[in-house]
Structure 1
């Protein structure tokens, strides 16, 4: 029994380091891979518990997939598991991004991974679809929850309501409607007022100084990590507004190159901070920026995790959590649709990318029907994309 905690820490480290290495496709793909590993394969969590964690991470700032990794590590292996899961998931992306930053600063160019990514993207899309299917079956327990999910999809897809606002509206509507079935008029009122919410941005002040103090660089990324709700891609808006336009720490081209690195590398997209920190202040800058942007996630999870089971004890908060869970799945649906349009379409006739569609369909069958591990699907998709490029078809 004395070896149980140590063995669990080893399992956590091995799993999340692997996910950090193969985690292409952004937070939705990462969450899909985690669901496959910890719910279906290892059974560390029930589907309901996983959904509770997913709903909770959507309600606090920080990168959702990183916070899911931290939550799972904490539940399975205690506070050391919390640290190890988060560090192991983040570390591969940070190291790869740091290497690319060194190449960029010293040689002024980025490596080209387009052929590999061409095949990886449709494979990742299939992994997400598999997760959506299993999570959706568990989250949509009633007709009311299905309606709430549809409403959240419409709010975010058509009305462009902020993801966090849509999630909170879904939770509040569900709490009222599920707790008392005679509250449909109030539900419609909330839907009307929900369209008034708009995206918010971080407002910071500072001076334009090319010799950037490390404390100021770290403080900037700490602020971003503390308020970055929703998708990690919202980071781009913060960087543009502050680092390029206000402080002048980055040029527009450097920001575009940093974004490109975020797309090339696996793991959390917030590892872009490592690249930017290195450009601004070398290795110390990379370390400070990375710590600043990820540290809030560890603290938020440490505070929030013990409270999640209590939310199930009250009928009101249980209804709220059920609605938030189904709303989180709805947000994944919207993101998946957006990724699918980008991945499977082209601008010229026939408007459908045939090779991407084939990779997607094969990967979907392998994932859903035969439960092939996501790592093999990512590897296989990358190899097919590279082969198609060598043959000159793309």
Structure 2
């Protein structure tokens, strides 16, 4: 019995960059379950098993990442990799966390575009689409249950839904308005706009523990900050400038780069929150993909490892392919380039937020609370996610429009999927698998019998 605490008190050896590289790459292949599942996996492995970082330091980093736009799990991996091995450690961790998902999306996107009309693929998608609708609605429920604690926040959520559903206002406008309302609410009715987090018990004998001195590379330096800002601006501007010189401002890759730069800065609340914005530009404005292809892309995102925001790779892939960005004879390469451009400009800000903001956060070493503006934004996010669920339901259950047929079996799958998620807490992957099987049964067995 005594050997266990003695072992716990031994400080683990500092991992080499190669050892950390292998862990982050493995995590990228196993990162199912959305941000909550990915964060839980990192906590189990890094805090409890390997003890590379203590509980308090882990939560300190997580609280900062939760206030940023972008995929918080990927940013958390970047932050911890940065604490362990400096800038190169952060870049390696963040890149390897998303690299498997990018490869999977490109491969499956190619299969989808080449063989998506096969009966087996069509049948699986028939069942998966209503499951995606249920998943989006359940995401709104989960976020709303945690966020909408009073009538003020409910009102912001309802206003956001009306603004995007009935008025068609752009997503960034809604986000800015919600932030302003949150700021005003925090000033005049602060009790209604306070959301906080807490720390757990400190972990014993962690490599980076509660009293561990901040590494030199993580200390604030004005010169280092200016250097990273300059490098970040160059990393953003040079590829964009080359795209403009190559295709002009109206070129498909230039539009992809510019749009996903903007999208990356307004992804408060996770991937579901920014999907309406991606839909507006990807489907309605630029015509990179159809509404049904957008739903299929989200289904792909839900069933593959990595952050859900990887759907941007799918959108860029279809944009480059279907717009024939490299000419009609190079569609595959055109699609891959579009996916890589979208991915690069989506994730670049996440790395900069850590490398630039991390030293400032480490200098405080205190618990970070959600600010009142972010509380308002999170409330608005609930409204836009509900709008996304309505949009999906319309296209899935009435594929020919409201005057056309109603897909009652598809609706039944959607209702069953929501009940499984909400009432029985079934995981997303089993739900999608069961719904895909139901879709195959409908296409190959039930529908022929009824026709």
The residue number in structure 2 matching 1:149 is 157
Does structure 1 conserve the Cα–Cα contact (< 8 Å) formed by 2:134 and 2:418?
yes
Correspondence 1:177-216 to 2 at 5 A: 177-181=185-189
- Contact kept? 2:421, 2:427, Cα under 8 Å: yes
Distance in 1, Cα, partners of 2:433 & 2:141: 22
Alignment coverage as a number of residue pairs? 326
Residues 121, 75 of structure 1: CA spacing in aligned structure 2 closer, same or farther, 3 A cutoff? farther
Question: 2:409 pairs with 355, 366, 384, which one?
Answer: 355
Partner residue in 2 for 1:71: 75
**Residue 43 of structure 1, CA deviation:** 6.2
Partner of 2:278: 232
After TM superposition, list the pairs within 5 Å mapping 1:28-43 onto structure 2: 33-35=33-35, 37-38=37-38
| CA root-mean-square deviation | 4.4
The secondary structure found in structure 2 opposite 1:372 is: coil
Structure 1 residues 116 and 83: alpha-carbon distance in aligned structure 2, compared to 1, 3 A threshold: same
Of 264, 271, 294 in structure 1, the residue corresponding to residue 314 of structure 2 is 271
- From 345, 359, 363, the equivalent of 1:296 is 345
Equivalent-residue separation in structure 2 for 1:136 and 1:286 (angstroms): 36
Instruction: Please say if residues 73 and 83 of structure 1, whose CA atoms lie closer than 8 Å, have aligned partners that are also in contact.
Output: no
Match of 2:388 in 1: 335
**Does the alignment pair 1:391 with 2:395?**
no
Distance 1:116 1:166 in 2: 35
Partners of 1:133 and 1:47 lie apart in 2 by 24
Q: CA deviation at 1:169?
A: 0.3
Alignment of 1:119 with 2:130, yes or no, is no
Deviations 1:209-256 (A, max 9, x none): xx979xx7754543333234643221245544xxxxxxxxxxxxxx66
Aligned to 1:83: 95
Would you say the 8 A contact 2:67–2:370 is kept in 1? no
Q: Which runs of 5+ in 2 are unaligned?
A: 1-11, 45-54, 83-89, 191-239, 267-273, 302-310
- Give unpaired runs (5+ residues) of structure 1: 20-32, 58-63, 183-203, 241-254
Distance in 1 of aligned mates of 2:381 and 2:365: 17
- Aligned: 1:140 with 2:148: yes
Could you tell me how far apart the structure 2 residues matched to 1:206 and 1:81 are? 28
1:96 match: 108
Deviation at 1:301, TM superposition (A): 0.8
CA shift, 1:333, in A, is 1.6
Q: Normalised by the size of structure 1, how large is the TM-score? A: 0.66
Q: Give the secondary-structure state (helix, strand or coil) at the position aligned to 2:447.
A: coil
Report if aligned partners of 1:35, 1:131 keep a CA contact under 8 Å in 2.
Answer: no
Deviations 1:94-128 (A, max 9, x none): 12223556x48xxxx95463321221122222223
TM-superposition CA deviations, 1:347-380 (whole Å, max 9, x none) = 6899753322322232222222332221111111
- Partners of 2:411 and 2:253 in 1: how far apart? 43
Change (3 A) 1:237 1:165: same
Assess if the C-alpha contact under 8 Å between 1:157 and 1:334 holds in 2: yes
- TM-score computed with the length of structure 2 as normaliser: 0.59
**Cα displacement (A) at 1:141:** 3.1
Question: Residue 236 of structure 1 contacts residue 259 of structure 1 at CA under 8 Å; is this kept in 2?
Answer: yes
In the alignment, the residues of structure 1 paired with residue 406 and residue 112 of structure 2 have an alpha-carbon distance, to the nearest angstrom, of: 33
Q: Distance in 1 between matches of 2:391 and 2:59?
A: 25
Q: Quote how far apart the aligned CAs of 1:83 are.
A: 0.9
Distance 1:100 1:39, change over 3 A: closer
Give the structure 1 partner of residue 372 of structure 2.
319
Shift of the 56–237 alpha-carbon distance from structure 1 to 2, 3 Å rule, reads farther
